[in-house]
């Protein structure tokens, strides 16, 4: 059975790799984007198999999120998996940021990384139930556990996303819906490029005993597994994909 899969923020980076992983597994993918319609269309067209499509929404716009989730389910014919991947990583060092910038950054970060994912999940649930069950996978971050001194809203949003996923794992299990979370360390994407290409790049790579950061495909592999039926009893878990750069107990 080909699953219907919605991946948010899939026009590039980890989301694109996740879309590719599901398509390679034979699934049909709705490639979500905020504004990058052309790039999302190119991703959808490049995926193996047929029936892939694009949907558009600002994750901070609750009505747009509902429209995008419903459109994805309708055009895919079914929705079996939601991957909450879209996110922002905005710098706002506490000692040097103005109060106005601080507020704007917290608002955008929480609206996108946390409330956007919560709203997409809420809107996806009726479709997942109609499909007889399914999976939600959230893309969190190592920063939820290790702290993000220059991006505290980001760390807080991901810690909250972890807690949201655990609550939903319990709430949705009676409808045969699994909820899992992947917490990557630094990943080779546009989001991390300025850090990885900057003066701290080598130090960041040395945080892992492998001497490198993650590839997007390595994060996608964990997402794919969490969405599988074989992972059903792992519902509620958080998988670290950080190259042993941060070990939590």
Closest to ligand NAD by CB, 129 or 191: 191
Q: Is 197 in the site for ligand NAD (CB under 6 A)?
A: no
Closest to ligand NAD by CB, 173 or 191: 191
* CB within 8 Å of 192: residues ≥ 6 apart: 89, 186, 213
- Per CB under 6 A, which of residues 66..95 are in contact with ligand NAD? 85-89
Q: Which of 149, 164, 63, 189 is nearest to 110 (CA)?
A: 164
- List Cα–Cα distances, 139 to 96, 98, 165, 229, in angstroms: 29, 29, 10, 19
Q: How far is the CB of 113 from ligand NAD (least distance, A)?
A: 6
Q: Is 60 in the site for ligand NAD (CB under 6 A)?
A: yes
Q: How far apart are CA 192 and CA 176, in angstroms?
A: 35
Q: Is 13 in the site for ligand NAD (CB under 6 A)?
A: yes
Q: Is 31 in the site for ligand NAD (CB under 6 A)?
A: no
- Per CB under 6 A, which of residues 34..53 are in contact with ligand NAD? 34
Closest to ligand NAD by CB, 128 or 183: 183
Identify the residue among 54, 109, 112, 235 touching ligand NAD (CB under 6 A). Answer: 112
Q: How far is the CB of 176 from ligand NAD (least distance, A)?
A: 26
List interacting residues with ligand NAD (CB under 6 A): 9, 11-15, 33-34, 58-60, 85-89, 112, 139, 141, 184, 186-187, 189-192
């Amino acid at each position: 059975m080909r699953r219907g899969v919605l991946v948010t923020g899939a026009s590039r980076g980890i989301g694109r790799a996740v879309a590719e992983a599901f398509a390679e597994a034979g699934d049909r993918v709705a490639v979500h984007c905020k504004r990058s319609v052309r790039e999302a269309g190119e991703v959808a067209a490049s995926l193996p198999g047929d029936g892939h499509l694009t949907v558009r929404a600002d994750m901070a716009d609750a009505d747009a999120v509902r429209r995008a989730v419903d459109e994805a389910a309708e055009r895919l014919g079914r929705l079996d998996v939601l991957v909450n991947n879209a996110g922002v990583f905005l710098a706002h060092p506490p000692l040097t940021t103005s109060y106005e910038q601080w507020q704007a950054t917290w608002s955008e970060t929480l609206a996108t990384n946390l409330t956007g994912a919560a709203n997409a999940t809420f809107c996806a649930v009726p479709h997942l139930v109609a499909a007889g069950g399914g999976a939600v996978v959230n893309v969190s971050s190592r920063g939820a556990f290790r702290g993000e001194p220059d991006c505290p809203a980001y760390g807080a949003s991901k810690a909250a996303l972890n807690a949201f996923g655990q609550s939903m794992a319990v709430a949705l299990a009676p409808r045969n819906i699994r909820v899992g979370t992947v917490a990557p360390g630094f990943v080779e994407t546009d989001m991390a490029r300025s850090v990885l290409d900057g003066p701290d790049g080598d130090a960041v790579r040395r945080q892992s005993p492998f001497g490198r950061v993650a590839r997007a495909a390595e994060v996608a592999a964990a997402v794919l597994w969490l969405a599988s039926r074989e992972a059903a009893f792992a519902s509620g878990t958080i998988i670290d994909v950080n190259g042993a750069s941060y070990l939590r107990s």
